[in-house]
């Protein structure tokens, strides 16, 4: 099913994750939501959306609560979880295997042992974003991989989406147009 009404998807990456220097894709860790000045600037840029959807991850739910305190609980969508890094989950960054030089196409298809590739993540996230595009302004608080998957959907290219930085507490705007078109409004905007 295609998009039936123009929708702005406001993709927000969660606040810095308290990972202890370890890779935490599906590992449920808390977020550091103590930078209230940055959160206030981000909230001023976003305003009050028509609907809020988050990944079920604690770090995403905490970020949404910091941005919109007192609002109703956001909708949770399990399809918005970060990439599953399988056997790499919980490993220190310096202990992760060196994959050597990979072109973006090969990197998008690379699957960690017991995990999913970025292409797998995109295949999981794209239908969730299309389902969310019901009209109006929808804030989605999720992960760097989820935001890149949204960019892949808008670009029509999974490998190209890997080129984008997605900082914690950053804002990326994509618009779903009636029919099947997408537009990118901004990428990785961060509060000064």
- Helix or strand holding residue 95 (H, E): none
Measured CA distances, 151 to 37, 147, 154 (Å): 27, 6, 5
CATH of the domain at 142: 3.40.50.1240
Q: What is the pLDDT of residues 72-108, one digit of tens each?
A: 889 999 999 999 999 999 999 999 999 999 999 999 9
* Domains contained in the chain, number: 1
For residue 3, the model assigns a pLDDT of 61
d(CA 142, CA 18): 15
> Does residue 97 sit within a domain?
no
Q: What is the pTM of this model?
A: 0.95
> Does residue 169 sit within a domain?
yes
Residue range of the domain that includes 114: 7-92+102-189
> Does residue 2 sit within a domain?
no
Q: What is the pLDDT of residues 40-59, one digit of tens each?
A: 999 999 999 999 999 999 99
């Amino acid at each position: 099913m295609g998009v039936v009404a123009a929708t702005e998807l406001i993709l927000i990456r969660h606040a810095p994750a308290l990972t202890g220097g370890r890779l935490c894709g599906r590992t449920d860790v808390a977020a550091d939501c103590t930078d209230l000045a940055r959160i206030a600037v981000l909230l001023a840029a976003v305003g009050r959306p028509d609907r809020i959807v988050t990944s079920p991850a604690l770090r995403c739910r905490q970020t949404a609560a910091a941005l919109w305190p007192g609002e109703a609980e956001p909708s949770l969508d399990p399809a918005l979880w970060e990439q599953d890094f399988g056997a790499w989950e919980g490993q220190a960054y310096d202990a992760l295997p060196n994959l050597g030089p990979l072109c973006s196409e090969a990197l998008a298809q690379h699957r960690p042992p017991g995990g999913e590739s970025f292409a797998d993540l995109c295949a999981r996230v794209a239908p969730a974003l299309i389902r969310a595009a019901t009209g109006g302004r929808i804030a989605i608080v999720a992960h760097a991989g989820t935001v890149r998957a949204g960019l892949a959907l808008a670009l029509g290219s999974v490998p190209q989406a890997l080129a984008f930085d997605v900082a914690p507490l950053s804002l990326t705007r994509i618009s779903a147009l009636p029919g099947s078109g997408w537009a990118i409004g901004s990428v990785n905007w961060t509060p000064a």
